[in-house]
Structures are given as structure tokens and as C-alpha cells.
Amino acid sequence: MTTFTATALAHPNIAFIKYWGNRDDNLRLPQNGSVSMNLAGLHTHTRVSFDPAFTSDSFTLNHLVQTGASLARVSAFLNLVREKAAKPWYAQVESANNFPTGAGIASSAAAFAALALAASSALGLELSEAQLSALARKGSGSACRSIPSGYVEWLPGSSDEDSYAVTLAPPSHWDLVDCIAVMKDTHKVTGSSEGHQIANTSPLQAARVSGAPDRLQRCRQALLARDFDALAAVVELDSNLMHAVMMTSNPALFYWEPASVEIMKAVPGWRREGLAACYTLDAGPNVHVLCAVTDAPMVKSRLEQIPSVIQVLTATAGGGAHLTFED
Ligand code: DP6
């Protein structure tokens, strides 16, 4: 029997304007648009093989066999691809991240972007970038932003078909660097999917969402004009707003560690000293410090001096998801 195989690579992304809360949790239609940068150098590489002889799906991550919720999420996503292609076959999914596991780098964006591309290609679906992005979105919302290249905007849309991400500017547009301060291993935090579901329990979510179009416009303008100070102001505000919603949800979600706060308090001071640097945090304690390429060595060395920071990863703006042909 024939096996239908494809392999794909995708980068994680860091959001400048955040996605937090859905209008439809099942379809992952977000309450507001978001903007992000793909992270070059960090990636997930995924091989998918469909075979009519397989009797179930299997999934390995960094060579470890996955079961339970992790396998179920992959299988549910493969069902969408199988349905689109009208092919009922089970698949073997082998995935590997080149960034440290357990470092709290959001991996679901790169994971579902690579899986969407590999699985749809293996089954012979010829999807446009927008269709692929919309498909990846249903695996993990932020994954739709890892399909296009560079600096990306997720257009929230009004339906399954028109909620996808597009490139705002290619990676070469601006040589920003993301210095990721990885904190000492902390207890497992509430995942994003559960967080989205309780976003509306915060009395602050409606205000965050209603101000999003204005922040998106400020972010787009700052990006296109390469205006670092304008970008810094809106990126830090948007991160703080999302964390204010998280902290006032029911149950309350506190993602910060003491060192996260230490960095958030220090970075605006660094800016006043003349460094082009600003902070943003996702659903975890790690702090992403975006900076000008010329300031990256100084930012990295300052972050490394903070005792609870175990590692500082750096990434420039990366390309989109693509098929690969090596093993
Ligand atoms: C805080 O895309 O991880 O990183 O759709 O449930 O997989 P699911 O959620 P996910 O949410 C990302 C939340 C965030 C902000 C962002 O990346 O925009």
C-alpha cells in the first residue's frame, strides 16, 4: 500500500497585539485582530504520513510518544484535513522542536502551522496561503499567524473562511530582534485554550476588545514607518491590557514571576537611556524584549544578569511555513 507523506517547517511567533478571547471557541474566531512577528531560528519540523493500512493516528513529539489530550488535539485537527480531502486514512505524525522543550516558548503556533501544511500537502490539497492559515487557526488560533512570512496580521473576519492572517511586511522590512528571557522552570500554568474561554469573565475584556482597532492601527503604522518608540508604547500597553484581563478573570490567571516584573520595570528605563527595547509577555512568565539589532547584545547581556533568568534566546524576523524535503 502507498503512504502519503509530506514534511513542513514553521516558526513560532510573538504577538505585538494580542489574541485573547474568542467569539467562537470551536472555530477559534477571535474577538479582536492581532499582529505578530515570526521568530527565525526557532522552529517546529513535522512529518505526516497517511496510510490506508494504519488503524489509528499516532503522534511523537521530540521522539516521545504522545497520548491523551495531546494526541486527541492532533487527531481532531487531522479529522478536519481528512474531511477536506475526502480521505479517511489515519496518520503518523512526527514532530520536533529545535527550541528547548519546557522553556515556556509557545509551541502550539509553530506546531499547528507545520501540521496544517504537512497534512494538507500529504493528502494532495492545494490550499492558498489564506486557506492554509484559516485551517491552521482551527488547530491553534495563533498558528494562523505562523503561515505567512515576516510581520503578520490576523484579520479576525466574520466566518471560518475569512478569519486568517496576511503578511504586513516581509522579514527584511525591519531588523528587530526578540530577546526571550526564559525563567527558571515554574509550575504548569493554565493553557491559552482554557484562558480564552474565561476571558469574558473579566470586566476588563470588553474595554480591551473595544480599544483593539485603535491599537492595531497604531501598531501597523509604527511597523510600516519603523518607528520604534511608537511601537514600544502600543506593544507594552497591549501586553499589560491582556494581563489585566487575565488577572481579573474568574478564576484569576497570574502568569508573571517576580523576575518578569523586574524586567517590565527595567525596560522603559533602558529606553530612556537610549536603548530601543520594549517588553511583551504571552501566557507565561518569560519576557520577550523586542529591540533594535544594534541593541540586542546589550539587551541580552542585561537579561542574562537577572538571577532567575536561565537562558536568553534571540530571534530575528522569520519567514512563513514551508515544505521541506529532508528527513
Ligand atoms: C497569549 O493560540 O495559544 O499567546 O487557540 O487555544 O491554541 P489556542 O490559543 P493560542 O493563544 C495565544 C495567546 C497569546 C497571545 C497571542 O499569541 O496573540
Domain ranges of the chain: 4-170, 173-316
| Class of domain 4-170 (CATH, top level) | alpha beta
Strands (E), the chain: 4-10, 13-17, 22-24, 29-30, 34-38, 44-51, 58-61, 64-65, 90-97, 151-155, 164-169, 176-183, 277-280, 287-292, 309-316, 322-324
Residue nearest to atom 3 of ligand 1 (CA): 192
Q: What is residue 100's predicted lDDT score, i.e. its pLDDT?
A: 74
Q: How far is the CA of 19 from the centre of ligand 1 (A)?
A: 6
Q: Which atom of ligand 1 is nearest to the CA of 17?
A: 18
Q: What is the CATH number of domain 173-316?
A: 3.30.70.890
Instruction: Pick left, alpha or beta for residue 25 (phi over 0 → left; psi -120 to 50 → alpha; otherwise beta).
Output: alpha
Q: What is residue 190's predicted lDDT score, i.e. its pLDDT?
A: 86
pLDDT along the chain (327 residues), means of 10: 92 98 97 98 97 98 96 98 98 93 77 98 98 98 98 97 98 98 77 95 98 98 98 99 98 96 98 98 95 98 96 97 82
Task: State the Cα–Cα distance between residues 181 and 168, nearest whole angstrom.
Answer: 26
Instruction: Pick left, alpha or beta for residue 308 (phi over 0 → left; psi -120 to 50 → alpha; otherwise beta).
Output: alpha
Q: How far is the CA of 173 from the centre of ligand 1 (A)?
A: 25
Q: How far is the CA of 1 from the centre of ligand 1 (A)?
A: 39
Q: Which atom of ligand 1 is nearest to the CA of 112?
A: 7
Task: State the Cα–Cα distance between residues 246 and 103, nearest whole angstrom.
Answer: 21
Ligand 1 pocket: which of 19, 70, 151, 153 to mutate (most atoms <8 Å of CB)? 19
Q: How far is the CA of 253 from the centre of ligand 1 (A)?
A: 14
* Spatial contact of 5 and 122, defined as CB atoms under 8 Å apart: yes
Q: What is residue 325's predicted lDDT score, i.e. its pLDDT?
A: 80
Q: What is residue 276's predicted lDDT score, i.e. its pLDDT?
A: 98
Ligand 1 pocket: which of 107, 137, 142 to mutate (most atoms <8 Å of CB)? 142
The DSSP code sequence of 223-267 is: HHHT-HHHHHHHHHHHHHHHHHHHHTSSS------HHHHHHHHHH
Q: What is residue 327's predicted lDDT score, i.e. its pLDDT?
A: 47
pLDDT digits (tens, 9 = 90+) for 51-97: 999 999 999 999 999 999 999 999 999 999 999 999 999 999 999 99
Q: How far is the CA of 143 from the centre of ligand 1 (A)?
A: 8
Instruction: List, chain by chain if needed, residues with CB within 6 Å of any ligand 1 atom.
Output: 15, 18-20, 28, 34, 106, 108, 140-142, 192-193, 196, 282-283
Ligand 1 pocket: which of 37, 115, 192 to mutate (most atoms <8 Å of CB)? 192
Q: Which atom of ligand 1 is nearest to the CA of 143?
A: 2
